[in-house]
Amino acid sequence: MAPSAQKGSGRLSRGLLLLWALLGTGLCHTGTEVEGFTQDARMSPTVAVFNWTVRAQLKEEAYTNLTQQCWEYFVDMMRNVTASELCEWKVISRPYSFLQYCLEAWADHLHYGYPNTLAEQYIFQSHHRYFHHCTLQHQVYFDPPEDVLLAMIIAPICLIPFLVTLVIWRSKDGKAQP
**Long-range contacts, 82-90 (Cβ 8 Å, 24+):** 86/130, 86/131, 86/133, 86/134, 87/131, 87/133, 87/134
Rounded to whole angstroms, how far apart are CA atoms 141 and 76? 35
Buried b (16+ CB within 10 A) or exposed e, 76-98: eebeeeeeeebeeeebbeebbee
pLDDT at 144 over 80: yes
Number of H helices, E strands in the chain: 5, 0
| pLDDT score for 153 | 92
Q: What is the pLDDT of residue 46?
A: 57
pLDDT the model gives residue 83: 87
C-alpha 123/C-alpha 98 separation (Å) is 11
- Looking at the chain, the whole-number percentage of residues with pLDDT higher than 70 is 66
pLDDT band with cut points at 50, 70 and 90 for residue 91: very high
Higher pLDDT, 154 or 139: 154
Tell me the domain boundaries of the chain: 65-150
Report the pLDDT averaged over residues 63-84.
94
Q: How far apart are CA 74 and CA 66, in angstroms?
A: 12
Give me the CATH code for the 65-150 domain, please: 1.10.150.510
What is the residue-averaged pLDDT of the chain?
77
Assess whether pLDDT exceeds 70 at residue 123.
Answer: yes
Please check the confidence at residue 126 and state whether its pLDDT lies above 90: yes
What is the C-alpha separation between 143 and 165, in angstroms, rounded? 33
